[in-house]
Structure 1
Amino acid sequence: MNGPADRAQLALLLEVAGTPKPGNVDRERDLSALRFEHFLAGAVGSRTGLDMAEAGDPVGAAFERSVAGMATQEGGNTQFGSLLLLVPLVSAAAAELTPERCDDVVSETTVADAEAFYRAFDHVSVAVDDPPADAAALDVRRGSDAIPAVRERGLDLQSVLELGVPGDDVAREWVTGFERSFAAADRLGDRSGPVVDRTAAVYLSLLAERPDTLVVTRHGESVAADVRERASTLAERDAVVTDRPAVTTFADDLVAEGINPGTTADLVAAGLFIALERGTISV
């Protein structure tokens, strides 16, 4: 792996290869319209945008390009949230991958970055919460149609993502120095064994910590809380190692119920990149 873009692409591939990851596509499970192969193709398609981030291109432009490339496969949205984390992380890693440098990257975003972020929604459908009543014109689901409102308010990309907190834990990473992403990297480095097994264990630990915000958006807080509680019971006994069949059952149950903790998967992808960049995991 020669550079950050290489490691970011590898992180996307390792994330989807980890199994079992309850509710998410992995190498043993497909969803009804979203398959393992779509994630592989999405990781390949995103590469030009990741290269742009490593080269120092504006974060917004790099993100839009990575999403446009990801969306060329037939499954739709495979890694939008992961790329929203990885692009600024790759940009930071071109200098130094630290929470402080990540904060700098975020704080340096511009209105043009925000415009590119909105254009990314033209390429793929993304499940998000309704915006605050006073920000309806900034609803990301409007895509590029919202750009005049972004310009009128002079919003940079950091400011736009702040509007998504606390309802979106990917947006939350942008305003907390990528706190959970770095924590995931630490956990990956602290474990032993194949990286794909570490990935599954860390995914479960993150799912046990907080209700997944994509599950909240699609199914409500009570369902998300139930998923978190069930994950916590398994994570407390490190069931990926000690009772893998129990985690497999949990994974199959969530797939059958159509419950997809995609935000947690995004955080795992970011953690994998940080751990690869630091050299605390290798393949």
Structure 2
Amino acid sequence: MRTPAQNAQLALLLEVAGTPKPGNVDRRRDLEDLRFEHFLAGTIGTQRGLEMAENGAAVGPAFERAVAGMADQRGGNTQFGALLLLVPLVRAAAEDLSPPVVESVVEGTTVADAAAFYSAFERVDVFVSEPPAEMEPLDVRRGADAIPALEERGLTLLDVLAAGVPGDDVAREWVRGFERSFTAAERLASADGTALDRSAAVFLSLLADRPDTLVAKQHGRDVAREVSRRAADLSERDAVRTDREAVESFADELVERGINPGTTADVTAAGLFVALEREVLEV
């Protein structure tokens, strides 16, 4: 029987291996500087941090350790956002993997957890939007240099992430009880095919539900809405099963345009973990 930490690693592997997954790295597609093998190596590196969360460590240090291990490969940032979802989920799974318990975990985060989160930004390059001028002292890109300002204001990790809503859907999960993550798990349970087929299908359905916030940050809201509308059209036609060629074409096009719905991939990984832990997805 797999442990929660092992299921989290398996979720990361299933997420990246699912194909076609429009715009993202999968087992058939690489990006220019980010390849499938980097995600495999990054997943292996997360082990110690995920085990810390499983064994009851605070969320911030467990996250920072998982990111440090993930970063030990040549591709850079592979799963930063996914780990920000998985670490509290793994921590909750030690007690009960349910929305109320996950909410309790994130509400219990501290200023020290927030400081560890900031330190994690020194491990890998993460794309973030330019903050308003008044928030510059708390810019996460400053890494540990921002910790004094963080401590002066007494901000917990939940406080920091709440400030990122609505522009970041990973942060939104933290303040909305991991709503989409649990929805993704339900969809995985009811989908057809292998675990990898289900992963790709649920990714497309999540992309159809909401414009991806990473796409919006990098390319603008109009492009994010366009991508979401096209995913909805394919999803409505059940194209993953009946017109796979159309989804493959869409996936190739987004890669060529440099459009990467990475936030949707993060939520898919979280959903895979929940489904594996609840044993509604078999591998």
Work out whether 1:244 is the aligned partner of 2:251.
no
Aligned to 1:179: 179
Query: 1:66, CA displacement in angstroms?
Result: 0.2
RMSD: 0.7
Deviating more after overlay: 89-98 vs 124-133: 124-133
Cross-structure match for 2:102? 102
Which deviates the most, 117-126 or 128-137?
Answer: 128-137
What does 1:49-64 correspond to in 2, within 5 Å?
49-64=49-64
After the TM superposition, which residues 265-280 of structure 1 pair with which residues of structure 2 at under 5 Å, given as runs? Answer: 265-280=265-280
Cα displacement (A) at 1:128: 1.1
Aligned length: 283
Q: Find out whether 1:76 has 2:76 as its counterpart.
A: yes
Q: How does 1:178-257 map to 2 (within 5 A)?
A: 178-257=178-257
Residue aligned with 2:19, SS: coil
**Equivalent residue for 1:260?**
260
Equivalent residue number for residue 166 of structure 1: 166
Residue 140 in structure 1 maps to residue 152 in structure 2: no
Segments of structure 2 that go 5 or more residues without pairing to the other structure are: none
CA distance in 1, matches of 2:126, 2:2: 32
Q: Cα deviations across residues 46-92 of structure 1 (Å, max 9, x unaligned)?
A: 11000000000010000000000000000000000000000000000
Q: SS where residue 122 of structure 1 aligns? A: coil
Deviations 1:154-207 (A, max 9, x none): 001000001110000000000000000000000000112101000110000000
Partner amino acid for 1:140?
V
Aligned equivalents of 2:97 and 2:230: distance in 1? 34
TM-score (norm 2): 0.99
Residue type of the alignment partner of 1:38: H
Task: Give me the whole-angstrom Cα distance separating, in 2, the residues matched to 1:132 and 1:85.
Answer: 25
SS at match of 1:96: coil
Cα distance in structure 1, aligned partners of 2:31 and 2:132: 31
- Mapped partners of 1:238, 1:274: distance in 2: 24
Say which SS state the counterpart of residue 21 (structure 1) adopts. coil
How far residue 131 of structure 1 moved from its aligned partner, in angstroms, is 2.4
Name the CA distance, whole Å, in 1 between partners of 2:264 and 2:272: 12
1:121 aligns with 2:121: yes
Q: Which residue of 1 aligns with 2:91?
A: 91
TM-superposition CA deviations, 1:81-117 (whole Å, max 9, x none): 0000000000000000000000000000000000000
1:224-274 Cα shifts (integer Å, max 9, x gaps) = 111011101001111111100000000000000000000000000000000
Per the TM alignment, residue 130 of structure 1 is displaced from its structure 2 partner at its CA by 2.1
For residues 189 and 246 of structure 1, the distance between their equivalents in structure 2, rounded to whole angstroms, comes to 24
**How far apart in 1 are the matches of 2:188 and 2:261?**
19
Secondary structure class of the residue paired with 1:123: coil
| SS, match of residue 181 in structure 2 | helix
For 1:238 and 1:188, how far apart are their aligned partners in 2?
Answer: 15
1:10 equivalenced with 2:20 (yes/no): no
Overall identity of the aligned pairs, in % = 68
Find the residue that maps to 1:74 and give its secondary structure: coil
